[in-house]
Amino acid sequence: MSNKKDIIFKIKNLSKLYGANKIPAFEMMKNGSEKSDVARKYGVTVAVNDVSFEVERGKIFVLIGLSGSGKSTVVRCLNLLQKPTSGDILFEGKSILKLNKKELMEFRRYKISMVFQSFGLMSHRDVLGNVAYGLEVRGEKKEICQTKAMDMIEMVGLKGWEHKRISELSGGMRQRVGIARALANNPDVLLMDEPFSALDPLVRRDMQFELLSIQKKLNKTVIFITHDINEAFKLGDLVGIMKDGKIIQIDTPEGMASNPADEYVENFINSADKGQIYSVKHIMQTPSCLIHSRDGVNYALKQMRDQGVSSAYVVDDNLRLVGILPLDNAVKVKAGELSFQDAITKDVLTTEEDVYISDLLSVAATAKYPIAVIDKENHLKGIVSKASVLSSLV
Amino acid sequence: MPDWFIEFPSEINLNIKDAIDKFIRYLLTNGETFFEGIKEVLKGFLNGIQGVISRIPWWLLILIVFILSWRTSRKLGKAILYSALLFFIGAMGLWPLMNTTLTIVIASVIISIMIGFPMGIWVSYSDRLDRMIRPVLDTMQTMPSFVYLIPVAMLLGLGNVPAVIATTTYALPPLIRLTSHGIRQVDNEVVEAAKAFGSTKWQTLVKVQIPQAMPTIMTGLNQTIMMAIAMVVTCSMIGTTGLGQEVLISINRLETGRGFSAGISIVIIAIIIDRLTQGIVKKGEAKIEQ
Ligand SMILES: Nc1ncnc2c1ncn2[C@@H]1O[C@H](COP(=O)(O)OP(=O)(O)OP(=O)(O)O)[C@@H](O)[C@H]1O
Ligand SMILES: [Mg+2]
Say which amino acid occupies A78.
L
Higher pLDDT, residue B74 or A153: A153
Mean pLDDT of A251-279: 76
Give the C-alpha separation, A36 to A43, whole Å. Answer: 10
Is residue A107 within 8 A of residue A182, CB to CB? The reply is: no
- Closest residue by CA, ligand 1 atom 25: A67
DSSP state of A304: H
The answer to whether residue B20 scores a pLDDT higher than 80 is yes
Give the C-alpha separation, B233 to B240, whole Å. Answer: 8
Higher pLDDT, residue A48 or B17: A48
Kindly state if the Cβ of A16 falls inside 6 Å of ligand 1.
Answer: no
B189 contacts on A by Cβ (under 8 Å):
116-120
* Residue of A36, A63, A71, A392 best suited for mutating to test ligand 1, as the one with most atoms within 8 Å of CB: A71
Supply the pLDDT for residue A334.
86
Lowest mean pLDDT, pick from A93-97, A206-210, B79-83: A206-210
- Closest residue by CA, ligand 1 atom 4: A18
Count H helices and E strands in chain B, helices first.
14, 0
Kindly state if the Cβ of A227 falls inside 6 Å of ligand 1.
Answer: yes
Helical H segments across A47-189, by residue range = 71-78, 101-110, 127-131, 133-137, 142-155, 171-184
- Closest residue by CA, ligand 1 atom 10: A47
The answer to whether residue A32 scores a pLDDT higher than 80 is no
Supply the pLDDT for residue A393.
64
What ligand 1 atom has the least distance to the C-alpha of A82? 1
Class of domain B14-55+92-289: mainly alpha
Q: Chain A to chain B, count of Cβ pairs less than 8 Å apart?
A: 78
Touching check for A365 and chain B: CB below 8 Å?
no
Instruction: Tell me which ligand sits closest to the C-alpha of residue A85.
Output: 1
Segment B126-138, tens digit of pLDDT:
989 999 999 999 8
Instruction: Tell me, letter by letter, the H, E, C secondary structure of B81-134.
Output: HHHHHHHHHHHCCCHHHHHHHHHHHHHHHHHHHHHHHHHHHHHHHCHHHHHHHH
The answer to whether residue A272 scores a pLDDT higher than 50 is no
Buried b (16+ CB within 10 A) or exposed e, A317-355: eebebbbbbbbebbebbeeeebebeebbbeebbebeeeb
- Closest residue by CA, ligand 1 atom 22: A72
Mean pLDDT of B177-196: 94
Nearest to B212 among A106, A124, A138 (CB): A124
Domain limits of chain B? 14-55+92-289
What chain B residue is nearest to A178 in terms of C-alpha separation? B193
Burial degree of A228 (CB within 10 A; 0-12, 13-18, 19+): buried
Q: How far is the CA of A70 from the centre of ligand 1 (A)?
A: 6
- Closest residue by CA, ligand 1 atom 6: A18
Q: How far is the CA of A68 from the centre of ligand 1 (A)?
A: 5
Higher pLDDT, residue A369 or B188: B188
Give the C-alpha separation, B276 to B116, whole Å. Answer: 21
The answer to whether residue A62 scores a pLDDT higher than 70 is yes
Mean pLDDT of A241-245: 91
Kindly state if the Cβ of A161 falls inside 6 Å of ligand 1.
Answer: no
With vertex at residue A46, the alpha carbon angle to CA A45 and CA A52, rounded to the nearest 5 degrees, is: 160
Is residue A41 within 8 A of residue A31, CB to CB? The reply is: no
Higher pLDDT, residue A3 or A128: A128
Mean pLDDT of A275-290: 74
Q: How far is the CA of A223 from the centre of ligand 2 (A)?
A: 13
Kindly state if the Cβ of A18 falls inside 6 Å of ligand 1.
Answer: yes
Beta-strand pair A371-374/A380-384: antiparallel
In Å, how far from its chain's centre is CA B164? 9
Beta-strand pair A350-351/A380-384: unpaired
In Å, how far from its chain's centre is CA A378? 21
Please provide the DSSP assignment of A149-182 as one string: HHHHHHHTT-TT-TTSBGGGS-HHHHHHHHHHHH
* Residue of A14, A15, A17, A18 best suited for mutating to test ligand 1, as the one with most atoms within 8 Å of CB: A18
Give the C-alpha separation, B281 to B40, whole Å. Answer: 35
Segment B141-160, tens digit of pLDDT:
888 888 888 888 888 888 88
Supply the pLDDT for residue B148.
83
What ligand 1 atom has the least distance to the C-alpha of A19? 4
Sheet holding A311-315, edge to edge: A290-292, A311-315, A321-326
* pLDDT band per the 50, 70, 90 thresholds, residue A179: very high
Is residue A221 within 8 A of residue A187, CB to CB? The reply is: no
Give the C-alpha separation, A15 to B257, whole Å. Answer: 76
The answer to whether residue B202 scores a pLDDT higher than 90 is yes
Segment A305-337, tens digit of pLDDT:
888 888 888 988 888 888 898 888 888 888 888
Query: To the nearest whole number, what is the mean pLDDT of chain A?
Result: 87
* pLDDT band per the 50, 70, 90 thresholds, residue B206: very high
Is residue A204 within 8 A of residue A92, CB to CB? The reply is: no
Counting every residue written for chain B, the total comes to 290
The answer to whether residue B289 scores a pLDDT higher than 70 is no
The answer to whether residue B37 scores a pLDDT higher than 70 is yes
Crossing angle of helices B32-55 and B149-156, rounded to 10°: 100
Higher pLDDT, residue A279 or B169: B169
What ligand 1 atom has the least distance to the C-alpha of A76? 18
Supply the pLDDT for residue A276.
54
Kindly state if the Cβ of A69 falls inside 6 Å of ligand 1.
Answer: yes
What ligand 1 atom has the least distance to the C-alpha of A227? 25
Counting every residue written for chain A, the total comes to 394
Nearest to A81 among B192, B199, B219 (CB): B192
- Closest residue by CA, ligand 1 atom 14: A70
Supply the pLDDT for residue B223.
93
Supply the pLDDT for residue A216.
87
Kindly state if the Cβ of A134 falls inside 6 Å of ligand 1.
Answer: no
Q: How far is the CA of A90 from the centre of ligand 2 (A)?
A: 22
Q: What are phi and psi of A223, to 5 degrees?
A: -115, 115
Of the candidates A213, A214, A227, the residue with the CA atom closest to the CA atom of residue A283:
A227
The answer to whether residue A25 scores a pLDDT higher than 90 is no
Mean pLDDT of B105-120: 95
Nearest to A109 among B190, B198, B208 (CB): B198
Say which amino acid occupies A360.
L
Mean pLDDT of B83-102: 93
The answer to whether residue B192 scores a pLDDT higher than 60 is yes
CB contact set of B6 (below 8 Å; sequence gap of 6+): none
Say which amino acid occupies B269.
I
Segment A74-112, tens digit of pLDDT:
999 999 999 999 999 999 999 999 999 999 999 999 999
- Closest residue by CA, ligand 1 atom 13: A47
The answer to whether residue B191 scores a pLDDT higher than 50 is yes
DSSP state of A345: B
Supply the pLDDT for residue A310.
84
The C-alpha of A120 sits at a distance from chain B's nearest C-alpha, in angstroms, of 4
Q: Which domains does chain A have, with CATH numbers?
A: 55-85+97-274 (3.40.50.300), 281-391 (3.10.580.10)
Nearest to B289 among A79, A119, A123 (CB): A123
Of the candidates A312, A329, A330, the residue with the CA atom closest to the CA atom of residue A321:
A312
Maximum CA extent, chain A: 85
Touching check for A130 and chain B: CB below 8 Å?
no
- Residue A22, helix vs strand vs coil: helix
Buried b (16+ CB within 10 A) or exposed e, A162-196: beebbeebebbbbbbbbbbbbbbbebbbbbbbbbb
Say which amino acid occupies A72.
S
Touching check for A378 and chain B: CB below 8 Å?
no
The answer to whether residue B11 scores a pLDDT higher than 70 is yes
Supply the pLDDT for residue A261.
87
Count H helices and E strands in chain A, helices first.
19, 16
- Closest residue by CA, ligand 1 atom 11: A47
Supply the pLDDT for residue A75.
95
Supply the pLDDT for residue A385.
82
Give the C-alpha separation, A228 to A201, whole Å. Answer: 11
Query: To the nearest whole number, what is the mean pLDDT of chain B?
Result: 90
- The 3-state DSSP composition of chain A as helix, strand, coil percent (nearest 5) reads 40, 25, 35
Give the C-alpha separation, A114 to A149, whole Å. Answer: 16
Q: Do B288 and A124 touch (CB under 8 A)?
A: yes
The C-alpha of B215 sits at a distance from chain A's nearest C-alpha, in angstroms, of 11
Instruction: Tell me which ligand sits closest to the C-alpha of residue A243.
Output: 1
What ligand 1 atom has the least distance to the C-alpha of A73? 18
CB contact set of A8 (below 8 Å; sequence gap of 6+): A55, A56, A57, A91, A92, A188, A189, A221
Give the C-alpha separation, B185 to B8, whole Å. Answer: 48
With vertex at residue A290, the alpha carbon angle to CA B141 and CA A306, rounded to the nearest 5 degrees, is: 140
The C-alpha of B144 sits at a distance from chain A's nearest C-alpha, in angstroms, of 24
Mean pLDDT of A337-347: 85
Give the C-alpha separation, A280 to A12, whole Å. Answer: 32
* Residue of A73, A247, A283 best suited for mutating to test ligand 1, as the one with most atoms within 8 Å of CB: A73
- Give the CA dihedral A148, A107, A8, A97, nearest 10 degrees: -160
CB contact set of A77 (below 8 Å; sequence gap of 6+): A14, A16, A48, A83, A84, A89
ipTM score for this prediction: 0.78
DSSP state of A356: B
**Residue B208 to residues A40, A253, A290, A346, B183, Cα–Cα distance (Å):** 38, 40, 25, 35, 9
Give the C-alpha separation, B214 to B208, whole Å. Answer: 10
The C-alpha of A24 sits at a distance from chain B's nearest C-alpha, in angstroms, of 26
In Å, how far from its chain's centre is CA A59? 21
